[in-house]
Amino acid sequence: MEKLLISACLLGVSCRYDGISKPVSVTQKLFEKYELIPVCAEIFGGLPTPRVPAEICGEKVITSDGRDVTAEYLKGAEEVWRLGKLFGAKKALLKERSPSCGNGIIHNGKFDGGLVPGFGKTAALLLENGFEVFGESQIEELLK
């Protein structure tokens, strides 16, 4: 069965910065087609839950109270990539707009809800290494 890395918060794990999850409704269909590998880069990077929200600012990741957490985000991305390689995954379903998992659109770094083109640290690392990355609005493509 094909392997699929998946943001743990999309499976109902309460690992988001605000201590909640964002479960998707088609979990059973995903289980039927893929061997799911749940990951959370921000937890893997050593951050607590709940945690102060962070956004991408240029090359860095900065919390809303001004702390540079780039190292934690990069470590988490490396760990997700490492697990993906270990399990032989080639695809990932990642939570949209996250500074780790966002794929193509992310928050603008001003903590005002604005969005800009860009990639979370984990999505970027996976894409650089040949993974196909999907957001939750693209789940139907994974279920074809």
70 lies in the site for ligand SF4, by CB under 6 A: no
CB of 141 to ligand SF4, least distance (A): 19
CB of 128 to ligand SF4, least distance (A): 17
Q: Which of the stretches 60-68, 85-93, 97-105, 134-142 binds ligand SF4 when contact is defined by CB under 6 A?
A: 97-105
Q: Which is nearer to ligand SF4, 101 or 133 (CB)?
A: 101
Q: Which is nearer to ligand SF4, 25 or 144 (CB)?
A: 25
3-class state of residue 113 by DSSP: coil
- Is 80 within 8 Å of 126 (Cβ atoms)? yes
3-class state of residue 39 by DSSP: strand
CB of 17 to ligand SF4, least distance (A): 7
Q: Kindly provide the b/e burial profile for residues 10-44, where b requires at least 16 CB atoms within 10 angstroms of the residue's own CB.
A: bbebebbbeeebbebeeeeebeeebebbbbbbbbb
Kindly give, in sequence order, each residue whose CB lies less than 8 Å from that of residue 32, ignoring residues fewer than 6 positions away: none
Residues in contact with ligand SF4 by the rule CB under 6 A: 7-9, 15-16, 40-42, 95, 98, 100-101
